């Protein structure tokens, strides 16, 4: 009875969450591989990248942190790190890191915004939760690795997360069914990020 009521996010959307965890964990481990790190660092980077954004989202919206009451989430991240460690990364195409990251970005941005709305968060912060969920893990990964943060590069990265989260929240406000809004948001975000990767699209920098 003392338990807080935990709003339920549609199960269809939870698939986006698991997908985001796995692909972000792989992207974290791939950065560790690129930097010739140890297995412990592989695991740490996989965990931080996999659960970092969702952790911040849950703290901010007052939800129980999603990976604290289940063994599965961390085991997925550890499994992803072991997988990248054991497989030769040469078998993974050079651009794999970017594409995994793009898929995680679009999934997580949509799911993050959906979870925030399910917790009664109003639209503008719910949109911000989507962007944060998608970008925060990668930002922490880059800061820990001493890489220039994705934030400081002109690529359409945060922008793609903003498109996914914004489209989802906007369609939701217009009364579009949640699964259709989620599909539209995730596809649009992935599409924009994919085009940015392939064609090198960039935002204009400040020049005054």
Site string for a copy of itself, 104-143 (x = CB under 8 A): ----------------xxxxxx--x----------x---x
- What is the rounded distance in angstroms from the CA atom of residue 114 to the CA atom of residue 100? 21
Site string for a copy of itself, 163-182 (x = CB under 8 A): --------------------
Residues numbered 8-67 forming contacts with a copy of itself, rule: CB under 8 A = 32-33, 35-42, 44, 47, 55, 59-62, 64-65, 67
- What is the rounded distance in angstroms from the CA atom of residue 48 to the CA atom of residue 30? 13
Q: For a copy of itself, which residue of 12, 15, 68, 93 counts as binding (CB under 8 A)?
A: 68
Q: How many CA atoms lie within 13 A of 106 on its CB side?
A: 21
**Residue 127 — left, alpha, or beta (φ > 0 → left; ψ -120 to 50 → alpha)?**
alpha
**Residue 76 — left, alpha, or beta (φ > 0 → left; ψ -120 to 50 → alpha)?**
alpha
Identify the CA nearest to 98 among candidates 200, 207, 166, 180: 200
Q: For a copy of itself, which residue of 80, 109, 134, 158 counts as binding (CB under 8 A)?
A: 158
Instruction: Kindly list the residues in this chain that would bind a copy of itself in the complex (CB under 8 A).
Output: 2, 4-5, 32-33, 35-42, 44, 47, 55, 59-62, 64-65, 67-71, 74-75, 85, 88-90, 120-125, 128, 139, 143-146, 148-149, 151-152, 154, 158-159, 162, 202-208
């Amino acid at each position: 009875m003392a338990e807080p009521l935990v709003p339920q996010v549609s199960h269809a959307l939870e698939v986006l969450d698991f997908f985001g965890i796995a692909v972000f964990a792989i992207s974290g481990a791939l950065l560790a591989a690129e930097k010739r790190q140890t297995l412990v660092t592989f695991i740490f980077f996989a965990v931080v990248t996999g659960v970092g954004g969702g952790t911040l989202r849950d703290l901010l919206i007052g939800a129980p942190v999603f990976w604290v009451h289940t063994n599965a989430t961390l085991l997925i991240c550890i499994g992803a790190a072991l997988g990248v460690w054991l497989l030769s990364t040469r078998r993974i195409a050079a651009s794999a890191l970017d594409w995994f990251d793009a898929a995680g970005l679009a999934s997580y941005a949509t799911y993050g915004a959906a979870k925030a709305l399910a917790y009664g968060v109003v639209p503008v912060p719910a949109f911000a939760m989507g962007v944060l969920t998608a970008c925060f893990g990668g930002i922490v990964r880059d800061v820990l690795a001493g890489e220039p943060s994705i934030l400081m590069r002109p690529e359409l990265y945060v922008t793609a997360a903003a498109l996914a989260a914004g489209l989802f929240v906007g369609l939701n406000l217009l009364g579009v069914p949640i699964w259709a809004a989620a599909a539209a948001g995730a596809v649009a975000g992935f599409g924009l990020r994919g085009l940015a990767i392939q064609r090198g699209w960039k935002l204009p920098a400040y020049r005054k």
